[in-house]
Amino acid sequence: MVKQRNLLLIILFALLLLQFISAGASPDTNIGELGFQAINSIKIENIEAHIKYFSSLGSRVDGYPGYYSARDYIITFLKNLGYNVTVHEFKTVSPIEEECYIELEYGRRIEAHALWPNGLIQPSNTPAGGYKGRLIYVGKGEMKDFDGKDVAGAIVLMDYDSGRNWLNAAKLGAKAVIFVGTGRYDRYEALEKFSMVPVRFTRVYVDENTGSLLKELAAKNARVKVYSKVSLKEITGYNIIATLEGTSLKDQIIAISARYDSWSVVPAKSPAAGEAIGISTLLELARFFAEHRPKRTIMIVAFSGHWNGLAGARAFARDVLLKKPFTSGELKIYSFVGIDIGDENPKLSVLYAGYGIRFIASDRISGYLAPVELRFTRNSYLYSKTSTGKTLFEVLADTASRITGRRFTSVEDFVRWDIVSQDWWGDQNYPYMLDTEPLALANVLAYSFKTAGQRNLWWGNPFNDFYTINFDNVYVQALTIAVHLAGLTNDETLSVKWEEKKPSRFTTLYGYMVGYTILTGETMKINITSGWYSPVPHALVRIYP
């Protein structure tokens, strides 16, 4: 009996050792050449051209014309590369500006744009006849700036870089605030232009030239009318899914994703060049893989609905990932890699958790991702030899130094594995959401590249931030991502136990379960006549987690 037990222990130990050796095996010897090919193929000018186009569309906020133009551009681009493209539809809600203007005393109308709804559900509207009042200019909107001015019933003209001082105008009885844009503003200004309390107060935005005209009129005690009509509408959102069959490991998929929509506190004005870095890098990677077809099948996913509570990614998990052929094993996802990078650093951080869902099980996830982690750390693809005699790290370090003028002395200078049991946010400076969060919740090996120490300083504002982008940093990040994806898509020694990591609606962790459920119901309110509840049609409900 003792001998049998000892034999069983030896067998179990051998199996565990075999699994460890398999997981830690060195990558294919040709990975070095494939990575070298990637470094020489990725073109920053292509990424820059994509960003320039996306930022020229006016607004990529879901439901606006620029959003649909971006969708069509991506579909056409991927089809032209030879990808099999399908479109996944989902429903979401967006504040759609129907009309917004300022009418002067002599009847001239000038363009304005409404701000983001207060409380997410109270649009920046006016009555059907608009708001009429005397125009007063208050600069930064400090309380002292209102001294000597009759604010009650007035239309207040205020500099955009005024923080939350629009609330001063509301407290003093103003009918509306017109913000005047005059330059570049950071993310704090954007976030302070609306309240999470559903305050009914009209806020609109005008550009600098219009603002100069209005300041002249305010000095003459002119009267103006502000009109704004914004509707919270249910719209159809679109995720774009493109596949390119692998040369040999056709049933094994490496999925790569980025989002193409944007957010601005002025929804109708969202050039958001910085937010287009991820999708533009994804398109350049798609071009590379179309020209250098890998062994594994590539799936490119362009998400939208990001700022609508990850609506697109959630719907993708529900409608696509948790169904055949992904749950049956006909197609096996070996990694689902998100790209959500900025321009402030050439270094990358690999993350799986974010503030969209806050699915935090780092102990479990770090074990799940061990085979992939090794390719970023101890057995990094960057250690692979190239035909030049140098390692990929040496080639990449030389290239990155030439681009940025900085020294790169270790693998961690390029990418850091931040999927750990503590500090799951790595070195990120602000709360963030990842489109891969819902996919990780569905038991998929899903994680995202983010720029290390990312701040997105200019995010959320109505000005075009294209000329603030540090393309050298973007280039180095794109090269680093390309090298690792060249490895993941071709490395035959990559060991992933798909049976343990297949998409699942519920997964058992240590003492609890995680997964998806669908809440359906009806919005009701008490009817004092009947003494019971009556349905509220077309209700929009904000749910707090």
SS3 of 111-134: ECEECCCECCCECCCCCCCCEEEE
Q: What is the amino acid identity at position 523?
A: T
Whole-angstrom Cα distance, residue 492 to residue 144?
Answer: 69
**Helices in 292-391 by DSSP H: which ranges?**
311-316, 362-368, 370-374
Return the CATH architecture of domain 105-221. 3-Layer(bba) Sandwich (3.50)
Maximum separation of any 2 CA atoms in the chain, in Å: 102
Task: Compute the residue count for the chain.
Answer: 545
265 — pLDDT class (breaks 50, 70, 90):
very high
Question: Poorest-confidence range of 22-31, 138-147, 312-321?
Answer: 22-31
Task: Quote the CATH superfamily of domain 26-93+237-513.
Answer: Zn peptidases (3.40.630.10)
Going from the C-alpha of 122 to that of each of 127, 230, 262, 265, the distances in angstroms are 13, 10, 20, 14
Whole-angstrom Cα distance, residue 55 to residue 33?
Answer: 35
pLDDT of the residue at 339: 98
pLDDT of the residue at 278: 98
Quote the strand ranges of 162-261, DSSP E: 176-180, 202-206, 223-244, 249-259
The more confident residue out of 339 and 443 is: 339
Question: Poorest-confidence range of 12-21, 210-219, 265-274, 433-442?
Answer: 12-21
Backbone angles phi, psi at 119, to 5 degrees: 65, 10
Element (H, E) at 156: strand 155-159
Q: How many CA atoms lie within 13 A of 46 on its CB side?
A: 14
Q: Does residue 8 register a pLDDT over 80?
A: no
Q: Does residue 357 register a pLDDT over 90?
A: no
**Helices in 274-330 by DSSP H: which ranges?**
277-291, 311-316
Element (H, E) at 136: strand 131-137
Q: What's the mean pLDDT in 347-353?
A: 92
Count, in order, helices (H) and strands (E) of the chain. 15, 18
Q: Of 424, 417, 436, 282, which is closest to residue 350 (Cα–Cα)?
A: 417
Q: What's the mean pLDDT in 377-385?
A: 85
Domain with CATH 3.40.630.10 in the chain: 26-93+237-513
* SS3 state of residue 530: coil
Element (H, E) at 299: strand 296-303
Residue 248 Rama label (left phi>0; alpha psi -120 to 50; beta)? alpha
Going from the C-alpha of 399 to that of each of 157, 392, 488, the distances in angstroms are 51, 10, 22
Whole-angstrom Cα distance, residue 71 to residue 78?
Answer: 11
pLDDT of the residue at 28: 53
Task: Identify the burial level of 460 via C-beta atoms within 10 angstroms of its C-beta, where 0-12 means exposed, 13-18 middle and 19 or more buried.
Answer: buried
The more confident residue out of 378 and 408 is: 408
pLDDT of the residue at 42: 98
Q: Does residue 488 register a pLDDT over 70?
A: yes
pLDDT of the residue at 545: 60
Tokens at 375, concatenated: 């390719």
15 — pLDDT class (breaks 50, 70, 90):
very low
427 — pLDDT class (breaks 50, 70, 90):
confident
Place of tokens 């363009």: 111
pLDDT of the residue at 366: 58
Q: What's the mean pLDDT in 380-391?
A: 91
Give me the chain's average pLDDT, please. Answer: 90
Residue-wise pLDDT tens digits, 154-213: 999 999 999 999 999 999 999 999 999 988 889 999 999 999 999 999 999 999 999 999
Q: Count of CB atoms within 10 A of residue 525's CB? A: 10
pLDDT of the residue at 511: 59
pLDDT of the residue at 20: 40
Q: What's the mean pLDDT in 35-53?
A: 97
- Whether omega before 545 lies within 30 degrees of 0, making that bond cis, reads no
Give yes or no for a contact between 245 and 157, defined as CB atoms under 8 angstroms apart.
no
Q: What's the mean pLDDT in 93-121?
A: 96
pLDDT of the residue at 435: 97
pLDDT of the residue at 380: 87
Backbone angles phi, psi at 110, to 5 degrees: -120, 150
Q: Count of CB atoms within 10 A of residue 385's CB? A: 15
377 — pLDDT class (breaks 50, 70, 90):
confident
496 — pLDDT class (breaks 50, 70, 90):
confident
* SS3 state of residue 350: strand
Q: Count of CB atoms within 10 A of residue 391's CB? A: 20
> Mean pLDDT: which of 1-5, 193-197, 503-507 is highest?
193-197
Backbone angles phi, psi at 523, to 5 degrees: -80, 125
Q: Identify the sign of the CA torsion 417, 423, 425, 428.
A: negative
pLDDT of the residue at 273: 97
367 — pLDDT class (breaks 50, 70, 90):
low
Task: Identify the burial level of 72 via C-beta atoms within 10 angstroms of its C-beta, where 0-12 means exposed, 13-18 middle and 19 or more buried.
Answer: exposed
Q: What is the amino acid identity at position 153?
A: G
Domain with CATH 3.50.30.30 in the chain: 105-221
Whole-angstrom Cα distance, residue 259 to residue 242?
Answer: 14
pLDDT of the residue at 331: 95
Give yes or no for a contact between 296 and 234, defined as CB atoms under 8 angstroms apart.
no
352 — pLDDT class (breaks 50, 70, 90):
confident
Question: Poorest-confidence range of 45-59, 313-327, 446-460, 498-512?
Answer: 498-512
**Roughly what angle, to the nearest 10 degrees, separates helices 31-41 and 471-490?**
150
73 — pLDDT class (breaks 50, 70, 90):
very high
Going from the C-alpha of 51 to that of each of 146, 260, 277, 305, 352, the distances in angstroms are 42, 10, 6, 19, 25
pLDDT of the residue at 122: 94
pLDDT of the residue at 421: 56
Question: Poorest-confidence range of 39-53, 210-224, 413-427, 443-457?
Answer: 413-427
**Roughly what angle, to the nearest 10 degrees, separates helices 44-54 and 277-291?**
130
pLDDT of the residue at 21: 38
Whole-angstrom Cα distance, residue 331 to residue 311?
Answer: 24
Tokens at 110, concatenated: 């000038």
